[in-house]
Amino acid sequence: MKPAAYEEFDLAPGLIQLNHASYGLASRTVADAAVKHRHRIESDPTRFLGAELTEQLRDRTALVCTAFGLTPEHTTLCSNATSGAAAIIASLPLTAADTVVVLDTEYSSINRAWQLACGRAGARYIEIAVPLPFRGTEALLSSLEAEVPGPVSYLQASLVSSSAALWLPVAEIAQWVRGRGGHAVLDAAHGPGHIRLTPDTWGAAAMFGTLHKWLPTERSVGFLWLTEQFVHQVRPAEVSLTWDSADLVERFSWPGTFDPVPRLCLGDAIAQWHRWDDRGLLTECEKLADHATSTLTGLAARPTAEREYLPPRLRSFILEGVTVAEVKTALSEADIRTWVGPGPSGECLLRIATHVYNDRGDIAALAARLEEVLHQ
């Protein structure tokens, strides 16, 4: 029998969804709220997509800040993590004298954006290999010391890396780049609703991410957090009517005509997330992730890091002796949804995310199918 929370979603019967981290999933509660927001907007779009919208978005931003401990004056909503990253990268005054460092475990499009920006400016772009399984903080810092000469302007790192699902030591990384005279830019796509956000403590200069992955809201909605130094500097990548605003929320409130409903649904999504937390369901998800790690390790799937660097509800495994295509086909035929793809060095990676609709039966079904693939 599926968990009671399974009924809070519109998942197809028989489908095993372990890929929550890729796209998120809106709950029925939030989907119903979205319908109401859309009806309201369509009743008078001149009014509800006009001046009133900015204040509604300011209210939703405040809710996000309260839920996740962020400072409202330094935070704004945006379309998604990609748009947040684009805003930061496009706004920083790169020159030929600058050096940008990125990790090869970062989301590929973010690394590509930095690479293009450095190419336009003539800046130095350095990509650091992070071997899997992750060897720990000291090994990473040693690689940075050995492979990065001289001052650094910016370093791009993830709170939790996407495909490899590494919970990176961002405070230590930020301290290293500050020691080289630069700033740490954090990708927190897998942060809100999953990992506690403390960018001030970490020493980050800027942070972007998504809210639709780990909250049950409609997609897509992202966020930006900026230190005082960057609040007045970072502008949307698209030049819209509010681009010149001195107010951070207003500046990002109108990227041209768009659907604001995912942002407007955040209050409903945060409230439901709190209810799950109060009922202990998120803790159960963490236990299920640990159970999955133990189960899949028993099949010779290798976790991408030691326990210290594994996120609470997102786990990735190195599968040897099989191809990405073979694993994808086998799981797809069994109606099991995970993320399967190449790692930074071409490894076959399998990533799972445990959510309130998952149970041990889902892990058992995944393990059974993987055993067939790994031992065929």
Q: Where are the domains of the chain?
A: 4-18+280-375, 34-271
The 10 Å Cβ neighbour count of residue 258 is: 13
Query: How would you class 307 by CB atoms within 10 Å of its CB: exposed for 0-12, middle for 13-18, buried for 19 or more?
Result: exposed
Compute CA 111 distance to the chain's CA centroid, rounded to the nearest angstrom: 15
Upper half-sphere CA count for residue 283 (Cβ side, 13 Å): 5
| CATH classification code of 34-271 | 3.40.640.10
Cis peptide, bond prior to residue 220, ω within 30 of zero: yes
How far apart CA 181 and CA 359 sit, in angstroms, is: 47
Inter-CA distances, 243 with 246, 251, 252, 260, 332, Å = 9, 5, 7, 17, 44
pLDDT tens series, the chain, 376 aa? 788 899 999 999 999 999 999 999 999 999 999 999 999 999 999 999 998 999 999 999 999 999 999 999 999 999 999 999 999 999 999 999 999 999 999 999 999 999 999 999 999 999 999 999 999 999 999 999 999 999 999 999 999 999 999 999 999 999 999 999 999 999 999 999 999 999 999 999 999 999 999 999 999 999 999 999 999 999 999 999 999 999 999 999 999 999 999 999 999 999 999 999 999 999 999 999 999 999 999 998 999 999 999 999 999 999 999 999 999 999 999 999 999 999 999 999 999 999 999 999 999 999 999 999 988 7
- The pLDDT of residue 300 is 87
How far apart CA 250 and CA 232 sit, in angstroms, is: 12
| Domain spanning 4-18+280-375: CATH 3.40.710.10 | no
Question: 6: which DSSP letter?
Answer: G
